[in-house]
Amino acid sequence: MTTDSQKITNSSSSNAGDSDDIDLLALFWVILRGWKIILLLAVLGLIIGVLYSRYVNPTFKSDALVQIEENSSGISALGSDISDLVAPQSSKAQTEAELIRSRMILEPVVNLLNLRIRLTDPEIDYLDRIKNDRTDTQINSPEGVALRTENGQAAISQFNVSQGYLNQAFTLTRTDSGFLLSNGFDDFKGQLNKDNQFKGVDGQIQITVTELPVNSHPVIISKQSLQRTTDNINSSLNVAEKGEQTGIIQLSMTGPNQEQASLILKEIILSYIGQNQSRGSEETTRTITFMESQIPTLKKKLEDSEKIFNEFREKNGTIDVSQEAEILLTENSQIDSQLNELKLKKADLTTYYTEEHPLVIQINEQLQVLNARKKQIDTTITGLPEIQREFLKLSEDTAINREIYLTLLKNYQQLKIVKAGQVGYARIIDLPISTFNAIAPKKLLIWILAALVGTMLGTLLALIKGLMRNVVKDPERLEAKTGIPVIATIPRSPLLTRLGKSKKSQNRLLAYADSNSLSYEAIKSLRTNLMFGMPTTSDSAQRAKVILITGESPGVGKSFISSNLSEVFAQLNKKVLIIDADMRLGELHKMFNMTQDNGLGDYLAQDVAITTVVHPTIMDNVDFMPRGQHPHNPASLLSGDKFTTMMTELNAHYDYIILDSPPILAASDAIIMSQYADKVLMVTRYDKSIEGQVVYAIKQMHKANVQVDGIILNDVQQGLLSKYSYHYSYAYGNNN
């Protein structure tokens, strides 16, 4: 035992530096061993991905481009005089992008296309959406809203409700006389193709239904609030400047219907352009309105002055005005004309600015200078004779009024031309078109991602299962945890495994079924290990060597090891007895194609001769004692004197006695029989036995002062997925 412990310690020390690599490799092999779970979840994920891609309606996209110009050149092209009257306009693309998303732009579109009316088909369930791959959605137009169903089309041209009924669902159903509108509390009956008005608990309802599905197929209708409708539009609308400082705005609209998305986006663009043009000509319109209010007054004033002047001339005849008077008259007329222009500019500016604005102050100063000069001219004219003064005055009034009227009329005509030519600072580059190419769902991508997610979940589940289960795989790890050496690793026999699935197979011993296998060679190696490891004794009466074979739990292969081990010992011309000591569930008799009758249980419970319970087998030098009947107290019978007498008597007739005992964790029989054994071996199964159970079983043996001499790792699977498969690289032929 000291040598074995040293070997274990040295082996553990030499591999301590590689623990991280071993752990990573162990995780890798755990993942590979869980390939079935991973594949199952990957396929399940793929199925879910396929169903989801069919459940979701296709999404289409429409795009458009709008250019935002920094300044409008319509007014400046007509001359500086007119451009001075209208302030220049400018706008940035980012500001306009936010403006497009405002209710000011979207509300006219909502009202035009009746977007606040929502229609849905309640008869379409989840299975229908998956089966049909896509479902019909409502179509909005200026004429109303339509929805196609399997029993016909629903068409609503008008649906207005009071505030209390907003965002509330109603059910529309066709009847023999018209339709029925219900919200669960109130029922309203109306006629098709007529304007129906109802009064309910929460207010008024106005609806015009032009068509409904037959067979009482219901349709859900609701009137959304303006805020919710614009929010829904904005969730599907994307407005952003294309590039940096390009002045190009790209608009895109997504939706389940390509033509509907294109129509809504087109109307949004037209609404924006219309608002843009209105803003661009707003100041020009104000100026024209002001001029239109002044022109009749000035015309009337001119006509009055001309009438008075003509009457004066008819009464007094033509008066010869001196050259100096003519100069004064001309200058006075020019001053009045300048005063009038400045007054017009001041009137226009004061519509936007206060009297303290620098431009207004500048015009006031100019007016003061001109008024002072006009006063001087008036003083000079006062010195002229009475008739000349009157003539000059009337002539001056007529000339001034004519000049003012003609100037205002000229500016008015020019501004009308400007307004007609103003196009705003935004222009359409590309209107949306229908491509009918769905942008979502991307089915192939969804399938791949769903399969990857399933694979990841399967991998995670395999890792968790491997880490929680912690099955026996590594002999060195098992030795380190138990302190017991693994004296043999028995590889799985593929041929014997296939034979075991067939009920027609008669003999399952390796010597007859798979004598050239690695499993058979491993059994022979175990035989050699036991032969040289048996304790020596000087007592000639203790002739037989007793080997107790047990396991931590059922199904680890005790019977397989016991039966094949007895066969290889018999090859050495040794007399071998194998006893099925599991009187509860022992099945060792099946290995020898015998019955369980007349066995250990019968001998211990009844008064029968030992020769009646020991049976020869088809193998030379091998006798077999089956488990016999199932007694009520197996442990008590094994603790009795009769079992001791039996073992004493058998020792005199055999070289090796192999006891196949019940599992340690299932019964205490192995602990009782271990006092008769020269070697106690624990069988555990590769990739099935739990490490914790093996450790606990050995601790139970130690508590009973039973020393386990070795562990046999059975059913080691050879191949890529078995990192810790210790097996030969070749097999011997038929040799002993």
Pairwise pLDDT comparison (441 vs 385), residue with the higher score? 441
pLDDT in tens, 643-669: 898 998 898 889 999 999 999 988 888
Helix (H) or strand (E) holding 440: none
Stretch 551-570: mean pLDDT: 90
Q: Name which of 331-340, 610-619, 678-687 the model is least confident about.
A: 331-340
Nearest in space to 564 (alpha carbons), one of 542, 546, 544, 588: 588
CA distance 287 to 289: 5
| φ, ψ for residue 302, nearest 5 deg | -65, -45
Q: pLDDT band for position 512 (50/70/90)? A: confident
| Percent of the chain scoring above 70 in pLDDT | 83
Q: 14: helix, coil or strand?
A: helix
Q: Name which of 84-88, 334-338, 604-608 the model is least confident about.
A: 84-88
Pairwise pLDDT comparison (213 vs 596), residue with the higher score? 213
Q: What angle do CA 394, 396, 402 make, to 5 degrees?
A: 105
Q: Name which of 69-83, 309-323, 427-441, 708-722 the model is least confident about.
A: 69-83
Overall pTM surpassing 0.85 (yes/no): no
pLDDT of residue 680: 93
Pairwise pLDDT comparison (339 vs 267), residue with the higher score? 267
**List of residues 6+ apart from 548 with CB closer than 8 A:** 659, 661, 670, 673, 674, 676, 677, 679, 680, 681
Stretch 338-353: mean pLDDT: 79
Task: Tell whether the model's pLDDT for residue 73 goes beyond 70.
Answer: no
Q: Name which of 24-28, 139-143, 358-362 the model is least confident about.
A: 24-28
- Rounded to the nearest 5 percent, the helix, strand and coil shares of the chain are 50, 20, 30
CA distance 190 to 306: 71
CA distance 238 to 259: 17
β-sheet with 203-211: strand ranges across? 139-141, 144-149, 152-161, 203-211, 195-200
Which residue is listed with tokens 């500001």?
95
Task: Tell whether the model's pLDDT for residue 74 goes beyond 80.
Answer: no
- Asked whether the beta carbons of 153 and 146 are under 8 A apart, the reply is yes
**List of residues 6+ apart from 69 with CB closer than 8 A:** 247, 425, 426, 427
pLDDT of residue 39: 94
Q: 154: helix, coil or strand?
A: strand
CATH class of segment(s) 472-498+507-533+546-716: alpha beta
pLDDT of residue 217: 95
- Asked whether the beta carbons of 252 and 238 are under 8 A apart, the reply is yes
R_g (Cα) of the chain, nearest Å:
54
Task: Tell whether the model's pLDDT for residue 618 goes beyond 90.
Answer: no
Exposed, middle or buried by CB within 10 Å (0-12, 13-18, 19+), for 132? middle
pLDDT of residue 236: 95
Q: 175: helix, coil or strand?
A: coil
**Range ranked top by mean pLDDT from 129-133, 515-519, 609-613:** 609-613
Sign, CA dihedral 489-490-492-497, equals negative
- Asked whether the beta carbons of 576 and 660 are under 8 A apart, the reply is no
Exposed, middle or buried by CB within 10 Å (0-12, 13-18, 19+), for 18? exposed
Q: 186: helix, coil or strand?
A: coil
Task: Tell whether the model's pLDDT for residue 83 goes beyond 50.
Answer: no
**List of residues 6+ apart from 470 with CB closer than 8 A:** 690, 691, 692
pLDDT of residue 133: 79
Q: What is the DSSP letter of 163?
A: G
pLDDT of residue 419: 60
Helix 35-55 × helix 19-33 angle, to 10°: 60
List alpha helices for 350-442, DSSP H. Answer: 358-382, 386-421
Sign, CA dihedral 406-409-411-414, equals negative
Stretch 130-143: mean pLDDT: 90
Q: What is the DSSP letter of 678?
A: S
Task: Give the number of C-alpha atoms closer than 13 A to the C-alpha of residue 52, restricted to the C-beta side.
Answer: 18
Q: Where are the domains of the chain?
A: 2-57+440-468, 62-280, 302-421, 472-498+507-533+546-716
Helix (H) or strand (E) holding 328: helix 323-349
Pairwise pLDDT comparison (316 vs 106), residue with the higher score? 106
